[in-house]
Amino acid sequence: MSVLYRSGAPRAAAWARFFKDNAPDIDFRTWPDAGELEEIEYLVSWAAPAAFIASLPNLKVLFSSGAGIDHIDLSAVPDHVQIVRMVEPGIINGMVEYVTLSVLALHRDFFDYVAMQPSGAWNPLEVPPASSRTVGVMGLGVLGQAVLQRLSTFGFRLSGWNRSPRNIAGVACHAGAHTLDQFLGRCDILICLLPLTDATKGILNARLFAALPRGASVINVGRGGHLDQAALLAALDSGHLSRAIVDVTDPEPLPPDHRFWTHPRVFVTPHVASMTQPDTAAPIMLANLRSHMRGDGLRDVVDRKRGY
C-alpha cells in the first residue's frame, strides 16, 4: 500500500517530512518518484491528468489537495474511487484573512485612497459604521461560515445564500434559487464562495448584478467560471457596481492584456486567497487515511452527483 503526492511541488517536501516523522509505516511517495503504479492506493493531487489516474489500477481514494474539486475530471475517476475535499484550518484561515481584508478595504474606501495618492489629493470620505453595511456570502459551507463568523466581530449586517437551508446565528440565511433576488437586494458587498458546479457556473451574471443595490461591490473567491466577465465590466462601467475584487479568473493565468488588469475599479490577485498549508493539512489527511485503512470510513467525501 502506497500513497502518492502529486501536487504543488514547493510543498511536496513538507508533506513528505510530515509522513516520515509521523507515519514511518506508510510508504509516502512524491511525484515524479511514483515507483510501481499498481502499489498506489491513495493519491493526493490537485489536477492529476485523466490518463495518469487511469494508470493507477488499485487507487482507492483521491484526496484533492485543495478545497475545490471542480478541476478534477470526475469521469476519469472510476466510480469505486472515493474523492475527498481538503478541509483544513490553514485553508480556512487563509480565506478568512483574504475576505476580511477585502471587505474592510472596500468598507473603508482604501481603493479610493490608493487612486487619490498619485495626485496628492487629501480628500477625506465619510466613514459609515460597519452596522450600516450588509455583507452577503453566497455558499455557506465551511469557508463561508468561517468568513461570516469573523465578519460578525466588526458589526456588519450579515446575510447568506445557500442551495440547502442553513441556520447561522446572526446571519439572515436564504436557501434556494427562489430566494436569490431577495438576498441580493440587500447586499452592499457580495462574496462568492460557492463551489463551481453545473448549477453555479456563470451565476455572477448580468441578471444577478442588476439585482444588487446600486453601488454594491463584488468579491469573487469561488472560481473564475462563476463570473460572466463582460457582464461585470458592463455593470462597473454603467456605475451600477462600485468595485470588484477577483482572486479567481477564467482562464488562469489571466492574460496580461485582459481588461481586468487595467480597469480602475477591478482589483485582481492571482488565485492566492487561500492555500492548503502542509502543517495543518497533512495531519488531517493522515487521520482520514488511517480511518479508511481501519475500515472506519472517510470524512469530507465528495458527493459526485452534487459536484462538491
- Which residue ranges make up the site for ligand GLV (CB under 6 A)? 66-68, 91
CB 49, CB 176: distance < 8 Å: no
DSSP classification of residue 304: T
Closest-approach residue to ligand GLV (CB): 66
Q: Of the two residues 67 and 231, which places its CB atom closer to ligand GLV in the complex?
A: 67
Q: Of the two residues 129 and 270, which places its CB atom closer to ligand GLV in the complex?
A: 270
Distance of CA 63 to the CA centre of its chain: 16
Q: How far is the CB of 247 from ligand GLV (least distance, A)?
A: 9
Q: How far is the CB of 194 from ligand GLV (least distance, A)?
A: 12
Active site residue 6: no
Please pick, among 11, 223, 226, 243, the residue that the annotation labels catalytic.
223
Report the alpha-carbon distance of residue 74 to residue 72 in Å, rounded: 6
Kindly report whether the peptide bond that precedes residue 32 is cis, defined as omega within 30 degrees of 0.
yes
Instruction: Single out the residue of 194, 274, 111, 273 nearest to residue 204, CA to CA.
Output: 194
Q: How far is the CB of 307 from ligand GLV (least distance, A)?
A: 13
Please pick, among 133, 157, 271, 292, the residue that the annotation labels catalytic.
271
Active site residue 271: yes
Q: How far is the CB of 143 from ligand GLV (least distance, A)?
A: 9
Tell whether the torsion through CA atoms of 253, 257, 259 and 263 is positive or negative.
Answer: positive
Burial label for 253, CB within 10 Å (0-12, 13-18, 19+), is exposed
Q: Of the two residues 152 and 269, which places its CB atom closer to ligand GLV in the complex?
A: 269
Q: Of the two residues 67 and 158, which places its CB atom closer to ligand GLV in the complex?
A: 67
Report the alpha-carbon distance of residue 122 to residue 113 in Å, rounded: 9
What are the grid coordinates assigned to 124, written together?
A: 477625506
Residues taking part in catalysis: 223, 271
